[in-house]
Amino acid sequence: MSAEPRTVPKYYLLKEQLRDLVRNATPGTLIPTERALAEQYATSRTTVRQAIGELVAEGVLGRAQGRGTFVAPPRSTYVRQLTSFSDDAAAQGLASSSTVLDVSRTSADDDAAARLRVPVGAELARVERIRLINGEPLAHEVALLTGPLPDLAQHLDRTGSLYTALRQDYGIDIVEAEDTVETQLAGPDDVRILGIEMGAPLLLIHRLGFAADDSPVEWTRSVFRGDRFRFLARMRSPQR
Amino acid sequence: MSAEPRTVPKYYLLKEQLRDLVRNATPGTLIPTERALAEQYATSRTTVRQAIGELVAEGVLGRAQGRGTFVAPPRSTYVRQLTSFSDDAAAQGLASSSTVLDVSRTSADDDAAARLRVPVGAELARVERIRLINGEPLAHEVALLTGPLPDLAQHLDRTGSLYTALRQDYGIDIVEAEDTVETQLAGPDDVRILGIEMGAPLLLIHRLGFAADDSPVEWTRSVFRGDRFRFLARMRSPQR
DNA sequence: CCCCCAGCTTGGACTAGACCAATTTATGTG
DNA sequence: CACATAAATTGGTCTAGTCCAAGCTGGGGG
């Protein structure tokens, strides 16, 4: 048989037309309103919203209630090796910063205890941060760390980097890490913290960091905006 | 209505209720039909569809036209280091296989030429495959390779692994790789090849593989189901 | 007994609205 | 002119349907 003309949904055709429309547009430019597009393309607002919704999820468009729908800035690549967030961003000419929401001591739950090889209930340091690029929230991160780590808040505040503080102030050098990356959809908490919309795709990244003696010392859960972030890993083959 | 602290959408409440309902259910179990759920929860079918749609995107539920909506099997973790797909899957007790769609020779486009450091139009080997786990399509992959690689199709067919064929038959050992991971939404092609639904979140992975002499020899674009796959990277700190 | 096909069920796409909430814009007042 | 306020605009959520396409089921004919 010849190529089967599978029925492509109308919203998908509209989506690709809109993608072409904004391909070379300046970020921030407003596109026509949903109601105007519905009339222009002789369809319903529901269909227009589905098309726009997917382009928003892909980071092509952005939108705000009462303001309109606009062209989004391009996706920022981000190198996430065993370097610090700030160094990575600086290497790409981006202004990075982070807001520390919490530095405290907590006790290990089942999951953290298993990962860090400590007893359940063992005392851990907890660091919760929001990572920003050019002032825009990019990720939400909660790190759990073994060891006493006295005055962690001050050291963090001074160096601005968790890895730097660990190395300089506590002599802990994280030389190896295991990252898992998976997709997740934004819920109300993510919406509030990252300023994204419900159901937006996120990259959920877990990191287990190892010190020089191969003991796990860091267990971090990060949620990155899927429309603004690209994970990069460089790996060498293990010695056979 | 009574005082609500926050405006949580009704579809989200329903989504979480449904998530609880199927938490300990056996994969494959059918849940009530959309029309039944709409009546049961005193809402419209549109709202029910939005709730179910997100659970499908997360891999909690699956659905098929004419059949119904059912509990999906759990997400399979997948170790993607510098080992082969088949070895990784076997280590987790999963039956992996792959369907070779195409083995041919092609010419480098701008992107591939830049990555592999060859002139635009240079001849490359092209291998297009579908990766399956337990008979279910998990990923679609197109690899571009430098070098003459005579009889690649036969060697691939015999070993069943691209990396093994490269090492055993051509003496090419890929010892280092650079992977980028980002989110993408499924379009008509992805739907056809992977049997997923429109707009489902995918993990788009690009890999640049290096031989022992640090020359790039492999440039691969992979699209993995975001609801079934978890990327894993293990990294050592670069020598300072 | 098996197989084919018609009819039913179920999800997929879409419509044409309604009402709400956030934002911008216009307007009136001190 | 400055500023509070009202009106219009725009996206966010939801309703109550229609029509279509794919899978399932049961009955009739070979």
Q: Look at A31 and B6; give whichever has higher pLDDT.
A: A31
Q: Locate A115 and state its tokens.
A: 């990962």
User: B54-81: per-residue pLDDT in tens?
Assistant: 999 899 999 999 999 999 988 877 767 6
Structure confidence by residue, pLDDT tens digits, B92-117? 677 778 889 999 999 999 999 999 99
Instruction: Give the residue-averaged pLDDT of A209-226.
Output: 94
Q: Which of residues 32-51 of A touch strand D (CB under 7 A)?
A: 33-36, 45-46, 49
pTM of the model: 0.88
Residues of B in contact with A91 (CB under 8 A): none
Task: Quote the mean pLDDT of chain B.
Answer: 87
- Condensed to tens digits (0 to 9), the pLDDT of residues B165-208 reads 999 999 999 988 999 999 998 888 888 888 888 888 999 999 99
Positions 47-76 of B with beta carbon below 7 A from strand D are 47, 50, 64-67
B32 CB-near residues (< 8 Å, 6+ apart):
B40
Per-residue pLDDT of B134-160, as tens digits, reads: 778 889 999 999 999 999 999 998 888
Does the beta-carbon distance from A231 to B176 stay under 8 Å? no
Interface of B with A in 23-42 (CB under 8 A): none
pLDDT tens-digit profile of A137-187? 899 999 999 999 999 999 998 888 898 899 999 999 998 899 999 999 888
Instruction: Note the pLDDT of residue A1.
Output: 31
* pLDDT of the residue at A149: 92
Question: In a 3-state reduction of DSSP, which class is residue B79?
Answer: coil
**A217-221, B38-42, B72-76: segment of lowest average pLDDT:** B72-76
Compute the distance between CA of residue A172 and CA of residue A145 in angstroms, rounded to an integer: 11
**Which residues lie closer than 8 Å to B162 by C-beta, 6 or more apart?**
B84, B127, B143, B156
- pLDDT number for residue B84: 65
> What DSSP designation does B30 have?
B
pLDDT at A91: 67
- Between residues A108 and A237, which one has the greater pLDDT? A108
User: Rounded to whole angstroms, how far apart are CA atoms A192 and A107?
Assistant: 26
Number of neighbours of residue B89 by Cβ within 10 angstroms: 21
Span B106-131, average pLDDT? 96
Place of tokens 């419209």: B44
Amino acid at B123: E
Query: Model confidence over A102-151: pLDDT tens digits?
Result: 999 999 999 999 999 999 999 999 999 999 887 788 999 999 999 999 99
Protein-to-nucleotide distance from the CA of A140 to the C1' of C19, whole angstroms: 34
Residues of A in contact with B78 (CB under 8 A): none
Determine the pLDDT at residue B136.
82
Checking if the pLDDT of B162 tops 70, the result is yes
- Kindly calculate the radius of gyration of chain B based on its CA atoms and give it in whole angstroms: 22
Contact indicator for A129, A156 with CB cutoff of 8 Å:
no
Mean pLDDT across chain A, nearest whole number? 87
